[in-house]
Amino acid sequence: MMRAVRDWGWETAVFRGATGICLLHALDDAFVNRQPGVDLDQHALAAALSLVLGVGAIVAFPRLRPGVRAAVSLGFGVLATVNGALHFRHVTVDAPAASDYTGVVALLAGIALIGLGVAIPILHRGEGAATGARRWANRAVAVVGSVLVAYVLVLPTSGALVVTHKHREPIGDPPDAAYEPIVFESSDGLELAGWYRPSENRAAVLIVHGGGGDRNGTVRHAELLARHGYGVLVYDARGRGESEGSPVAFGWNWSKDVAGALAFLRGRPELDPERLGGLGLSTGADVLIEVAAEDRGLRAVVSDGATAGSFADYRNLEGLDEAAPFYLTLYTAARVLSGASPGRPLKELVGKVSPTPLLLVSTGGSIAAEIDFNRIYAEAAREPTELWELPEVDHTAAIRQRPGEYERRVVGFFDDALLRP
């Protein structure tokens, strides 16, 4: 290490060492200690891009101007810190996974890169500028450029890391003895885990959780439906909880999980396969709209909190011009990092849900655009579709903040669609 410092200078030595550690973690996460059920090539593109950018930066670093060196170091440092922090968080809530070890080291390397990025402008202040006016002009350009790069590249890519790398959380025990721990396969062969509570009325509802959650986030809804005699199936989507696969909080490929869940329900002898419904929360709502447009096995769908599953969905909102670069990078980076792709835009799909009854539950307390999204979907949908707007209620929180009304609307909707001739 001391020889590297002498030969390269301490700034280059720190950058190359820290970046090398981050690349080691990228390879570990993509190939060596990948998630259960993840194919060897699923994250190959992300690993290849990391290597190209990382090695390119390592080679070019000492030749760059101080301001550029600082920007590169800060950008790499933020991304490594976000990624490493997710692994560190997993260690604090559960037993460490194999890739957590290099992930935590990458967190330390990311912090070092951020420190280096802050130190470089201080240490090289005023270098290469002949006059004070030129120095201030350089600083102004650097500030504006840094803000643009952060907004268009670093921040959305960091968000994509969270979307595609969120750690699993412990699941714990079922709510009570009436729930059976079950395992079933997605249509593409992943092993998914969940709980099933048998039906008392020959009907059942499949509940799909939100993008950052797991089956624990659906228990309140399951209990509500079970009180009215419905069978309920709650499960962890791919890459979440105890299910195989790699996580994508946008719900890409979750339709294959739903297909496996419906196959499980159709095989239950106490159920009438003509009386199967679905209730989706947030990302789960997006996914059930996608599934219901193609699979008539769902006889009724409650979409609670649908928003957007792709950049194409966001483009349907008015006034998005300023935010478009951010969201374009976010969804593009998520595709690269996950190895998955979004389905068709929800506005195109929702019109194909009919004749399946659809209830759109739309809140505005925490995601203002949710109301706008659901008005777009309600307008594009065909009968029978209901739009229930709750502007003061938080995202997917109607069951807590309006419990009586939520029970009447949701249970009444399923009763009409699944129980009555």
pLDDT digits (tens, 9 = 90+) for 15-66: 999 999 999 999 999 999 998 999 999 999 999 999 999 999 999 999 998 8
Sign of the four-CA dihedral 45, 49, 50, 51: positive
- In terms of DSSP bridges, do strands 191-197 and 180-185 run parallel, antiparallel, or are they unpaired? antiparallel
Give percent of the chain with pLDDT exceeding 90.
Answer: 84
Nearest to 117 by CA among 161, 174, 45, 57: 57
Indicate if the pLDDT at residue 342 is higher than 70: yes
Nearest to 71 by CA among 9, 153, 158: 153
pLDDT value for 403? 98
Beta carbons of 203 and 271 less than 8 angstroms apart: yes
Indicate if the pLDDT at residue 206 is higher than 90: yes
| Helix boundaries (H) for 187-344 | 219-227, 254-266, 283-292, 311-314, 324-338
pLDDT value for 322? 72
Q: Is 282 left (phi over 0), alpha (psi -120 to 50) or beta?
A: left
pLDDT value for 328? 93
Beta carbons of 234 and 222 less than 8 angstroms apart: yes
DSSP code at position 30: I
Range 97-130 burial, b when 16+ CB lie within 10 A, else e: bebbebbbbbbebbbbbbebbeebbeeeeeeeee
> Token digits for 132?
């004070």
> Token digits for 221?
């809804």
User: Collapsing DSSP states into helix, strand and coil, what is residue 328?
Assistant: helix
Cα 349 to its chain centre, rounded Å, is 21
| pLDDT bracket for residue 128 (50, 70, 90) | low
**What are the angstrom distances between the C-alpha of 82 and each of 34, 89, 119, 156, 379?**
18, 11, 20, 12, 39
pLDDT value for 382? 97
- Other CB atoms within a 10 A radius of the CB of residue 224 amount to 20
Q: What is the Cα–Cα distance from 195 to 219, expressed in whole angstroms?
A: 10
Angle 234-187-244 from CA coordinates, rounded to 5°: 60
> Token digits for 288?
């059930």
pLDDT value for 6? 61
Beta carbons of 359 and 303 less than 8 angstroms apart: yes
pLDDT value for 1? 55
> Token digits for 341?
């792709």
> Token digits for 405?
């009304």
Q: What is the reported pTM?
A: 0.94
- In terms of DSSP bridges, do strands 191-197 and 231-235 run parallel, antiparallel, or are they unpaired? antiparallel
- In terms of DSSP bridges, do strands 385-390 and 300-304 run parallel, antiparallel, or are they unpaired? unpaired
pLDDT value for 122? 87
Q: What is the Cα–Cα distance from 165 to 34, expressed in whole angstroms?
A: 11
Residues 6+ apart with CB under 8 A from 123: 66
Give percent of the chain with pLDDT exceeding 70.
Answer: 94
| pLDDT bracket for residue 420 (50, 70, 90) | confident
DSSP code at position 15: H
Q: What is the Cα–Cα distance from 96 to 301, expressed in whole angstroms?
A: 38
pLDDT value for 316? 86
Mean pLDDT of 355-359: 98
Tokens 């669609």 label which residue?
417
Q: What is the Cα–Cα distance from 281 to 209, expressed in whole angstroms?
A: 5
pLDDT value for 309? 93
**What are the angstrom distances between the C-alpha of 40 and each of 30, 44, 256?**
8, 7, 20
Tell me which of 57 and 95 has the higher pLDDT: 57
pLDDT value for 130? 58
| Helix boundaries (H) for 189-310 | 219-227, 254-266, 283-292
pLDDT value for 145? 72
Mean pLDDT of 250-279: 97
| pLDDT bracket for residue 264 (50, 70, 90) | very high
Mean pLDDT of 264-287: 98
Mean pLDDT score across all residues of the chain: 93
Indicate if the pLDDT at residue 3 is higher than 70: no
Indicate if the pLDDT at residue 228 is higher than 60: yes
Q: What is the Cα–Cα distance from 103 to 165, expressed in whole angstroms?
A: 11
Mean pLDDT of 115-133: 78
